[in-house]
Structure 1
Amino acid sequence: MKRTSGFTLVELMITLTVLAILLVTGIPSFREWLRNTHIRTAGESIQNGLRYARGEASSRGVNVRFEFTSPGAGWTVCALAGTTSCTAAAAASADNTLQNFVAAGGSADVAPMVSTSIGAAASPLSTAASAGSGITFNAMGRPIGYGTVALSRIDLNTAGKDGRRLVIQVSPGGMPRMCDPNLSLATSPQACK
């Protein structure tokens, strides 16, 4: 009698069971990784927008504003021509809007929390970014109203979910810095001050 090669039903069932167990145990880790990636992407976008606004203010010699456009991580950068908000600047002239970022995909789930003072990064903020909250840079690239009306700190986390939190701090000189409040300065340069 000739023996045919192949898998028996028992071998196939064991393989599928092991594969299912591996998938079920890996899905929570994958979701956490994906959520952390969304937070990092939104944070880098906001940090780049702040740097762009600061650079444009210096190069153009006018006040330039970084402003959140929605409750999510969407934002706009505009040149202020006698106005105090990007909405008013866009209404005055479409040329005043320099750059827009529409939070799409996973970045739309990121919920920025804002404050006008840097404070202790270890404690999370509780005021959500609203449309119109932002920071204006003068012709020297410094924030106008630092510590009073200009955003000095932005906390990023996914809306309604526990997970990693990143913090963007804007210095009195206008430089944004993204840091991780869960790290220690003694062991990592990415920790918050």
Structure 2
Amino acid sequence: MKDQRGFTIIELMLSIAVLAVILMIATPNIDKWLDNTRIRNAAAALQDGLQRARTEAVNRNQNVSFYLVSQASPGALDNNCALSSTSAGWVVSVNSPVSKCADSPSTTTSPMIVLGRPSGDSGGGVRVSAKRSDGTTDATTVTFNGFGRVVNTGDAISWIEVNGPLSTATYRKLRVTVAAAGATRVCDPDAATGSPRRC
């Protein structure tokens, strides 16, 4: 009698069926985990941009602004950009980058761009909402002075909320806050009361 090796057709079909059930159970959780990762990445990128604007303002001893900008493609900034309170793309510059977001960084040529990042670089597919300190009025810009403080306090971005792509799903949304003194922070508006992560 020969020694048999391998699987029978029944064992193979049973293994495939078990694997299919496991994948059906895991797929929704994986999708949600990926969306939450995109939210964290986008929030971190927005905070990085805000901190870069503040640092440049202090280093140059002049006003430098952080602008939220829309773009035609999430993968690249272009010169068709406009200010947008709902975009994860941003530009740090001395002057408004509207219609000049793809310009090269410069210390002499307006808009004197320092750095820009399209929304697709950090967390494409997220929903962003930037607000003034009243919590209802949309905002697109925050300007820091040579001391690192916010100078356009009346219309400045006070916080940027980053949420998942679907309004019908529940995600772990994050918020990037900007204090009048210029400090930025990523926090969780839904964290438990008393938690240091809570906004």
Residue identity opposite 1:169 in structure 2: T
Indicate yes or no: 2:161 matched with 1:145: no
Identical aligned residues as a percent? 34
| 1:149 Cα offset (Å) | 0.4
Deviation at 1:108, TM superposition (A): 2.6
State yes or no: 1:101 paired with 2:107.
Answer: no
Answer whether contact 1:118 1:153 (CA < 8 A) is retained: no
Q: Give unmatched runs, 5+ long, in structure 2.
A: 71-85
Give 5+ residue unaligned stretches, structure 1: 120-124
1:111 lines up with 2:127 in the alignment: yes
Q: CA shift at 1:89, angstroms?
A: 8.3
- Deviation sequence 1:21-54 (CA, Å, 0-9, x none): 1111111011001001111111000001000100
| Secondary structure of the structure 2 residue equivalent to 1:69 | strand
Residues 62-101 of structure 1 correspond to what in structure 2 (within 5 A)? 62-70=62-70, 71-80=86-95, 85-87=96-98, 93=109, 96-101=112-117
Spell out the pairing of 1:17-32 with structure 2 (5 A cutoff).
17-32=17-32
Describe the shift of the 1:105–1:31 C-alpha distance in structure 2 as closer, same or farther (beyond 3 A). Answer: farther
The two structures have a TM-score, normalised by structure 2, of 0.80
| Letter matched to residue 54 of structure 2 | R
**What letter matches 2:159 in structure 1?**
R
Superposed CA deviations along residues 99-122 of structure 1, whole A, max 9, x for unmatched, are: 010121672312211111165xxx
Q: Residue 165 of structure 1 aligns with which residue?
A: 173
Distance across 1 between alignment mates of 2:166 and 2:137: 12
CA offset at residue 88 of structure 1?
Answer: 8.0
**Count of residues in correspondence between the two structures:** 177
Return the TM-score normalized by structure 1. Answer: 0.82
- Give the conservation status (yes or no) of the 8 Å contact 1:72–1:108: no
The separation in 2 between residues aligned to 1:180 and 1:106, in whole angstroms, is 19
What is the alpha-carbon distance in structure 1 between the residues aligned to residue 137 and residue 12 of structure 2? 52
The reply to whether residue 33 of structure 1 matches residue 33 of structure 2 is: yes
Change (3 A) 1:115 1:39: same
